[in-house]
Structure formats: structure tokens, C-alpha cells
Structure 1
């Protein structure tokens, strides 16, 4: 279908006609640009059967309008950009605004792009310009009062109605958006074969979505000081381009290019512009988030490292960094790295609640987080999650023990051995655990058959939470490039590869420091001291004691590709010696239960 199939003038008629006009029941054909939940902290895709009120943005190819779906239509799955017919509608007062309420709707066809009606009635999809376009017409979002006059709250100082961010595309101009600055970067310098320059970017958000805006060179001088994070502005006369996804994590197909002529004016009426929207991931679920993906997290700052400086290998530049240890009520902690001015200016006292938006997920030695240039950090935000964490930490969290996201797991918490989901090694392989996009977890009781005795430990930095490998520059001088410090001796940490077997099969497991301490019943420092002192017999005895011992393992399975070959790696999350008395009691309970009947 094309824009010619949409009912011309339908949006303006629905917005301005009397409440008893036949337009509400005449079956006008429109395009549904999006359907989203109303009043949520995060932009979750609405699910069928939900009781949330849903907002729909409708278009006739020329004008856009917000409307509300009646709750009886919540079960209807409306794809983005679908062509629909309104079979029944009405108008009602919602939050002091007269909104169109959609009572009946039919989905006629799916569409992959926004449709735009050409001024000369040559209908075409938005995104495919005509060979000889006529002078563009001003498009905007008509307001919804009973009489067709402008609502001052949604009218910019230039007299134009505010345009929704979600409706922006390269084929509209003369628009004005009313948006909140949710993120503002520092001024950064760049250089390449074509020369040098400066740039900055901001993320703008209204109730329909968000968009990234970037200013270069002269635009930096004109506009950088006009934007302030958290405030609302009217923005116009910027260029709309296709988004460069490798530079942005903002969920929008387009981005704005700020120019010297771009107009930015403060807005004092901000009640209808939402604050930052989050989609929080709990800290215990970070293992399920892919490496290099971005996510939103919130937690209480448990520890703060000193400000340090590192030199990057690629650019040979020095960068300031600081690490925070974040905890939440799942019993997990995670290390979050701040960079540059953010790290240098961090001076929060006590244990503040901090929300991070768009933090990058790393996986060296487990899961960690790092702020990027598009990430935002909000201290003690005004939302439900922050209030809950504040109360939890003040009551219980201060004295709680937390499991870290190290690759070796934590023997003191986190995912434990699950007797109800215990599997054999053959069952694990037959189920192809780890071969999907998600990480799979399993519990298995198995026996250690062999531990590789070469490179079973590595020298690590002694700073708490670092664990990076250090290099010996001279006797008694171990250098950590990450922390930019020198230690007189390293802190050795296990890095094990062990062959395990049960009655049904065998596999290779990988384990790190916490797992090694349980398996060897001694620290890596103790074992390395034997090796360095020439006590080869003591090292052999330690390995011999660990071999042929049974343990309860809780592991993660994840596919890894190297040289075009994909294989599954099994990483140990936690390990514990088999308690045969407890296992016997569990077996007796099973034999006396319905399971044995």
C-alpha cells in the first residue's frame, strides 16, 4: 500500500471536528506509526493482554496525531507503520487534554516504512524522494482541543506547533521540537586525513522518543553553552540525517546535525516532557547481557577507587579513570569505570544511589561496566527504583555480602548448585547448551580427572578489584598498566583448565581464582611459592590431591568462535566439595517422595 491509500485530511478533521462528527465512525484509513505504553519509566514494548493504557501515533501521510487505544484493544498486536482502519472512535478529556480514543480498529496491511503524501498528490513512501520535489510543506502535530486553535503549552516561540521526535525524517523541514537534554558530551577534538576539528553531541528526548544531535566546529562555538543537561529546549533549523549507528546507542534511525543557524531556546513549561527513561537490568542478570552491548543499571555505590591515569595503546594519550563498585538487592556487585572529566569530577560522599544509562558491558574476568561518551550517570535519581534501593541499603545492604561477576564466580553467593536441575555431561552436550545466542547455565556433579599444570596461575595487580596481569620490569618491580602503579610482588590468581568426567561422558571446564582455591584448598600464592622455591614434589602432591575428587559444579555454557570454528566453552561459576551426608539425606527424601512411586 502507498500514501494514496490513506484517507486525505483525516487527521486534521479528527483533531478539529465536533464530537458528533461522522469522521469518528466513517472508517478512515491511516498509518499507525507506533504504539507505546503510557506513563512507564522505561519504554517497554506493549505486550498483548496488558492493562496499561496505550498511546498510538496516527498519520494520514501529511499530518500526525496522538490518540489513545481503548483498553479492549490491548490484545491487538499492531506492527509499527501498519495500515489501519478506524471503525469507531470518540473524544475524551485525558489529563486536561481532549484526546481521540480509538474504540475500534482493523489492521489492513503491514508496511516497512513511513508513508508521506507528496504535495502534488504523487504519493510516495517517506524515505524515497521524488525526482523533482516541489517546495516542502510544513508538517506538524495538530493539537486536540475542540476548536482548532494552538495550545500555548505545545507551541514554540516561533509560532509553530511542536513536532514529535518520532516523526522526524530527512523529508520534513521547518519543524520545531520540544525536548529535554538527557545527555551532553564534552567538547572533543578529532583529526584525520581531511583535517582537524571539534565536536560535541547531546541526546534529546520527548514523550515519543529520543534522538542524538551533533555539532561540529563553528556550531560548537554557537551552541555548546546553550545546552544544559536535564533542561528542556525548543530546537529548530537543524538537519536530519540517517544515524551513524557505530557512534550512537540511541534508538532512532535518524540523527540531527546542529549548524550555526540552528535555533535553541529555553522552555519554561516542562511538565509534559519526560525525564530520562530507563530499562534497568538487575546486577545478577548481567551475565545474560552480550559483551559490548549497552544497558541501564542502578545500584548503590559500595566502594570508590582513587583517581588514576592510564596511557592508551592506540593513541598514546593519557586518560583519567575511576572505578565504582555498584551493588543492588540481588546480592551481586559490579565494577563500573568512569572516564575523563566524569571520573575527575566525581566527589559524591557516602553511598549514593546512581543510575547509569547506556553503560557498555565488558567481560574480562567476568562482567564489568564502563561509561561511554553517550552514557549518562544520574546521582540519587527521583524514581521508584532509587527509593527502594536507598531503603534496602540503609536497612540491610550495608552489612550484606555480595557476589562479584568474576569469570570464576563466587563460592559465597550468586547462582548455586541446583539439585532439581542437575544433569549429566552427556545430557548437557545433547541439549546443545551454549549454542544459542543466550548464555545457558547448568549444575553437574563430576570428578576432576586432570588439571593442566602449565600456566595454572598468572601474576595480577594487588589493587582491590583490578585483577589485571602485571609485568615484571625488574626484580621486585611488577608494573600494572591499568592502575599505573608498581608493586613489589604480584597477587597470583588461578586460571585453570581441567578435564572432568562422570559416568556418562567427559568435558573440559575453565575456572578462575575462586574455583581454584576450592579445588586445591590453598591459594594460588601458596602454590606458586612452592614452585618458585623449587619444591616440585609439593606442587605435584597438590595436583595429585585435587585430581580424582568429586565436586558439585555450577557452570555457564557459551559458544565461542575462533578461526571460523565454533565450540562451546564451559566456565565454572561456583564449585563445592560433595557433602556425602547431605547427598544421602536428599536421596532418602527423594525415595520417600512421589518421585519414587
Structure 2
């Protein structure tokens, strides 16, 4: 058998970060460690891997599109891989690689770590002490010029050379962070806002923002004042651009954006924006749809994407803001989909006044806010967008359903379902666990809703809750940076304590089998009979009492309202069963239901 060590690209990792050495295009390395990063709510799983070329080892982060190598078990400690696509980065002074694509070389087998590789940072930092010029490739060495003049010439040289060299290596949006230095992204402008002005005690100004998309993710970018004048007309929705730093990277202000990115960009005076000649190699608008029937289980003020058939178009009207006393144009639309539910969606401003879409059209909305006013309703954010009859699979499937049967169906609004607060539990589509599995509920692209009467037999006590932000309507996970200091990156605030929220995993059983169910905070409080905050306090101060709480929560039977939806992890698929509500058994209602079933049988 071939010695695997003979295939490893010794020294290749150091060369990636050293411009004086020849880089191996697709180096072969050994995986010496792999582990998941701490989970974050509403974010996909992320994995960190350590790769060795025998001489050195380096920390790497797998892009989400490479997660399937971990989840399918092919990328394991000791195996050998070929790094096909990657991006060098520096985070807090440490060298890391963002791995975009790789091949696991199964024919080389697996073995213990080969050699005694050294950490890459030490060697690189040692070499950098002996380098006077910057290693970016955009500067030059001018030892005989005054410092200020040399700096000026470096800036001019960088400005001239960036356009010719920026397109050589494209940086993925997913890898951008405040620790990234020189980079160029190639991205499609999926949304451009109107120019907005402000006037306050500190002065006045104007701004606009764009949403940018590439294969790895999305990010919001904003231009103020001079950059607004310079770049506004250049950006056109749907077009692809090269954008090169300098460009400020900062924590995203989630109240102004609907994109799934922790960071956002601010254009600076030297930011280079150039329209790309090739316009077809960057994806179009990317959606992450929530079906209308699932809105009842979506938390208030969450930003989502939704697609539906336009059932009704309301008249133009105006509303006056209570805070600014300004009047705003609005129009209410009614959307329906194959779940049998309808929802009211409000559009504002010029979108409302210029709205001329025909009923029965398919509309995809990106960036709508969920409200609980009168049940569940939606509102299109100023940063959101609307696409009529998009050429995507979800739209074609929805149109086919509506033409075949949806046109004649009756739809249930979330207003009526949210007001049904009586003791009776909705038992339509009541399933046994065996039926859930046999009918493969959730295996289609659309989620399936069903009721389940089952008994809790096990509560997973690991990670039963998470520390959440205290800000109203945030709920994002916070991190303890110092004792008594909890940091929320989304709100950019620090609190003396968190508010714990449930993320429970239950194993339930009926007479036909067992099933794992995911539960969030409202359901968790019902199951445990106490808040997550109180439970954490008990767990820290009285382990015996905490054990009793979990013991008492077991062996109780509930009526669960569930959603079955397929989740994709690379090439793997699995069905996730999420509980939207749980009610204890009402024995009088159960007795009446059984009596009705008995009476319905014909007696021969």
C-alpha cells in the first residue's frame, strides 16, 4: 500500500500565507482535528478543522456548503484531503483558512497524525519581522523617500493597481469580517434602497444601501453623503459588481436589514466599485421561504421570506406614524398557499402606490416582518424586495397547485386560528407516530402540519436552554465576556445577566412508537412548569430539586401541534419535527371523542 505521507504537500500551508513562495494550487493535507462550533440560534451548523502538511498545521473554518463532508462522516480525524478552494484570512492575528471546497481522498485511508507539525502562526510571524514591505502585493518599498511621501505614493499605487489585480482572487462574502484586510468580492446587487435623508442636532445627510449576494452568502452595504452621490447611479438591481476594500466592516444593525449576516459594509472614499463584464456566474436572489401555514409558530418581529398566490388586492390608504406624525401610503394584500392558510401582507410607500399586479399571480417577498396584530400578519420592510412570477421551482409548484385545485379551496386565516383560545384542541390530521413515519410526513418540499397525542418519556437535559439577550424582541444568544458581563453582538449591548430561553429536545411515545420533537420557549415553559431562567437558577443551586422537575415532567401526556419539515445538510436530508403548541389532555373532551367514535360505528 502507498505511504500516505508521500502524497502530502509538505510546506504548502506556509506558502499560502507567504507571497515569496510558490503556492500549491490544490494541496493535499491531513485532517488532525475536527469539531463543531458552539451553536447559534437561526444560524446553520459550523465546523472548525485543523489540517497538517507534516511541517505545519493551521486552523480552518468550513464554509456551510462544505458541511456535508462532516455530516456524512467522510471527513474524519486522520483522513487525507485535497483542498480545492480556500481563502486565506487573519483573525485576531491568527492565520486561518476558509475552506470552500475539498475532496476526501478515501484511497489514502486514515492514520494517526504524521510527524510533529508546528503551529503556522509562529513561523509566519517570525518571518514577517524581517520583512519591511507589506505582504499584500499592492505596496512598494521606497526607503529614500520621506515617510509621508512614501505613504502617499503607496496609496496612489494601490488605487491604480487594485483595478487590474482585484479580480485575480475573489473573496467569499461569508468570509468577510472586521479582521479581513484587503479583499475583493464579486456580488450581485439584489436590492437598492431609495436615497434617504436625515436632519438632527448634529447636522444633516443622506444615505442609500444595497444588498449584495454571491455563492457563499449575502451582506448589506451602505453609502453616506459623498459615497451616496458617487455610487447610487452606478448600482442597478440585478447587476453584478466587483467591490474592493478599503470598506468598513462592522456588526450588522439587524433593525435595518433582513440578511443572515452578522456583519455589514460601509463604503469609504477609496472603495472601488466596478460593474463586471460577466453577469451570469453569480446567483440570482436567494430566498429562504416560510410557508404561510407555519406563521403561527414564528416569533413576533422575526424577518422572513414568503411566497404565495395573490388572492386579493386592497385599496390604497394612509396611516399616520405615532412617533413622527408623518403619513405613509400603504396597501394590504392577501396571499394564500398550499397549506390552506391565508395571510394579510402590507406594502408601503412607492411599492403601494405603484402596485399593479394582477390577482392569481405568484409573488415572492424577501424581507417581511412578522406581526401578531390580530393574529399573524406581515409587513414588507424598506430593505425588502418583491418579485412577480419568479422563475424558481417554488413558484412553478405553487402555480401548478393553484391551477389544479387551489382556485376553488377555502382558506383559513391566522386571525381566526390565533383567537381560538378555548380549551378544546384542534384534532384535525391527528396522527399516530407510526402514521407519521409510514406516511413520510415532511419528506416533501412543503412542511406538513399534524396533531399528535403522546407521552413524554425523556427530556434531553444537555443544552435545554440558552442565554438570550434582554432586549425586547431580540432573543439572540449572548456570550459571557467577563463575569457578570453578557454581550449581544446583534444589539451591540452588554448586560449584567442573560434571559434564558428553552430549546428543548423531547422524546415522546404512543402505542405505536417513539419520536423526537423540538420545542422552543413557550412550549418548554408548559412542559417544565417553570421558566428557563428559574430552571437555570435551580440547576445551579439545587441539583436535587432540578432532577425532581425533570422527573415530574416525564410520563405526562400532551396534545402536540407539530410541523414536519425536511432539513438539508449537504447531500443528506432529515426530517425535523417541531412543536408549535402543546396542551395537556382534557379527559372530558377525550371521553366525548371516544364516545363519538364508538357511536359512529355501524352495529350489524
> Normalising by the residue count of structure 2, what TM-score does the alignment of the two structures yield?
0.54
Q: Tell me if 1:75 matches 2:72.
A: yes
Aligned with residue 215 of structure 2, among 207, 210, 219: 207
SS in 2 for 1:270: coil
Kept in 2: contact 1:56–1:66 (CA 8 A): no
Partner of 2:105: 103
Q: Tell me if 1:88 matches 2:88.
A: no
Question: Deviations along 1:385-425, whole A, 9 cap, x unmatched?
Answer: 100111111222222110001055589xxx9435777989x
Question: Deviations along 1:476-531, whole A, 9 cap, x unmatched?
Answer: xxxxxxxxxxxxxxxxxxxxxxxxxxxxxxxxxxxxxxxxxxxxxxxxxxxxxxxx
SS in 2 for 1:406: helix
Over aligned residue pairs, what C-alpha RMSD do you find?
5.4
Partner of 1:181: 189
Kept in 2: contact 1:68–1:100 (CA 8 A): no
Question: Deviations along 1:402-460, whole A, 9 cap, x unmatched?
Answer: 0001055589xxx9435777989xxxxxx9xx995145999xxxxxxxxxxxxxxxxxx
When residues 67 and 370 of structure 1 are mapped into structure 2, their CA distance, relative to the original with a 3 A threshold, is: closer
Kept in 1: contact 2:80–2:110 (CA 8 A): no
Partner of 1:234: 242
Alignment coverage as a number of residue pairs: 397
Partner of 1:481: none
When residues 408 and 384 of structure 1 are mapped into structure 2, their CA distance, relative to the original with a 3 A threshold, is: closer
Q: State the Cα distance separating 1:123 from its structure 2 match.
A: 11
**Equivalents in 2 of 1:270, 1:202: separation in Å?**
17
Kept in 2: contact 1:57–1:67 (CA 8 A): no
Partner of 1:482: none
**Equivalents in 1 of 2:299, 2:104: separation in Å?**
39
Q: Tell me if 1:382 matches 2:391.
A: yes
Q: Tell me if 1:191 matches 2:193.
A: no
Aligned with residue 219 of structure 1, among 213, 217, 227: 227
Q: State the Cα distance separating 1:262 from its structure 2 match.
A: 2.2
SS in 2 for 1:27: strand
Kept in 1: contact 2:221–2:267 (CA 8 A): yes
Q: Which residues in structure 2 correspond to 1:529-544 (within 5 Å)?
A: none
SS in 2 for 1:121: helix
Partner of 1:165: 173
Question: Deviations along 1:140-180, whole A, 9 cap, x unmatched?
Answer: xxxxxxxxxxxxxxx97745421111222233333211001
Partner of 2:136: 137
Aligned with residue 30 of structure 2, among 9, 23, 27: 27
| Structure 1 unmatched ranges of 5 or more | 35-42, 48-53, 79-83, 109-114, 125-129, 140-154, 425-430, 443-553, 558-569, 573-577, 593-597
Partner of 1:268: 277
SS in 1 for 2:177: coil
Q: Tell me if 1:417 matches 2:424.
A: no
Q: State the Cα distance separating 1:206 from its structure 2 match.
A: 0.8
When residues 264 and 394 of structure 1 are mapped into structure 2, their CA distance, relative to the original with a 3 A threshold, is: same
When residues 277 and 72 of structure 1 are mapped into structure 2, their CA distance, relative to the original with a 3 A threshold, is: closer
Q: State the Cα distance separating 1:288 from its structure 2 match.
A: 0.5
SS in 1 for 2:598: helix
**Equivalents in 1 of 2:210, 2:311: separation in Å?**
30
When residues 121 and 439 of structure 1 are mapped into structure 2, their CA distance, relative to the original with a 3 A threshold, is: same
| Structure 2 unmatched ranges of 5 or more | 1-10, 86-99, 113-118, 139-162, 432-450, 455-505, 507-517, 527-558, 563-580, 584-588
Q: Tell me if 1:367 matches 2:376.
A: yes
Q: Which residues in structure 2 correspond to 1:38-77 (within 5 Å)?
A: 45=44, 73-76=70-73
When residues 357 and 366 of structure 1 are mapped into structure 2, their CA distance, relative to the original with a 3 A threshold, is: same
**Equivalents in 1 of 2:180, 2:120: separation in Å?**
10
Q: Which residues in structure 2 correspond to 1:194-343 (within 5 Å)?
A: 194-237=202-245, 238-343=247-352
SS in 1 for 2:233: helix
Partner of 1:562: none
Q: State the Cα distance separating 1:302 from its structure 2 match.
A: 0.3
Kept in 2: contact 1:136–1:172 (CA 8 A): no
Question: Deviations along 1:566-588, whole A, 9 cap, x unmatched?
Answer: xxxx999xxxxx99998634035
SS in 1 for 2:344: strand
> Normalising by the residue count of structure 1, what TM-score does the alignment of the two structures yield?
0.54
**Equivalents in 2 of 1:353, 1:229: separation in Å?**
20
**Equivalents in 2 of 1:387, 1:116: separation in Å?**
51
**Equivalents in 1 of 2:379, 2:205: separation in Å?**
26
SS in 1 for 2:382: coil
Partner of 1:121: 125
Aligned with residue 595 of structure 2, among 561, 578, 584: 584
SS in 1 for 2:407: helix
